[in-house]
Amino acid sequence: MRIILFVSGLIPAAAGIFFLVNEGQTFAALAFVAGLALFAFGLLGALAYFVARAGLGVPGWVLADSLTALTLSAVTLQNRMAGDDIALSAFGVWLMAAGAMRIAGAADMSDGKFGFRFALAVLGLMSAAMGAYGFFRPFLPEIGMTGILGGIFLLQGVSAVALGAGLRRRRGAEAPAAAGKASARRRPRGKNPMKTSHSD
């Protein structure tokens, strides 16, 4: 089920590229694309958590991030983001929270490889930095709105793809199935022991 995480990351990444290409636009002109990307990201992320959390060990912060994205998508699609600065501040807080959760998740992850945990922590640091820049954008206006928005969506997408690539199926999830198959192979095919023969 890692494909769900891959797709959930590709959608906001594609939206981020779209925002970077459309430099100079206002958020009102990009709100519909942003809302759809947030909705797809949140829905697929939540689906991945509930479907694959036992087998792949999808961390709980994926669900929290997905629910936040769904909330932001509802606000965005209803045109409640009044202005570029408010939109970037909201998305910046979202990315800062997601970055902090990735850093904490990488530090708390005990069954993952070191390279995967290190990459997750680096992506978390980058997300927190980009989120802080988006939040304080009125004081740091060197980068335009579409550039920051594109970076936010790109980082969310790349992080989801990296998470899907790094998760591996848990051994404990494979053990019950393997034990069931082994017992089925060892089961004798003789007479049913519950049946007894009666002699005159």
- Give the Cα separation of 150 and 18 in Å (integer): 7
Q: Could you count the other beta carbons within 10 Å of the beta carbon of residue 184?
A: 8
Residue 186 lies in a domain: no
Residue 23 lies in a domain: yes
Residue 84 lies in a domain: yes
Residue 190 lies in a domain: no
Q: Give the CATH number of the domain where residue 55 resides.
A: 1.25.40
**Which of 22, 47, 44 has the alpha carbon at shortest distance from 33?**
22
Tens of pLDDT, residue by residue over 34-64, are 999 999 999 999 998 888 776 667 788 888 9
- Give the Cα separation of 59 and 39 in Å (integer): 20
Residue 149 lies in a domain: yes
- Tell me, what DSSP letter sits at residue 111? S
Residue 8 lies in a domain: yes
Tally the domains of the chain: 1
Structural domain range at position 107? 2-169
Residue 118 lies in a domain: yes
Tens of pLDDT, residue by residue over 123-182, are 989 989 888 888 886 566 667 888 889 999 999 999 888 888 877 765 554 434 444 444
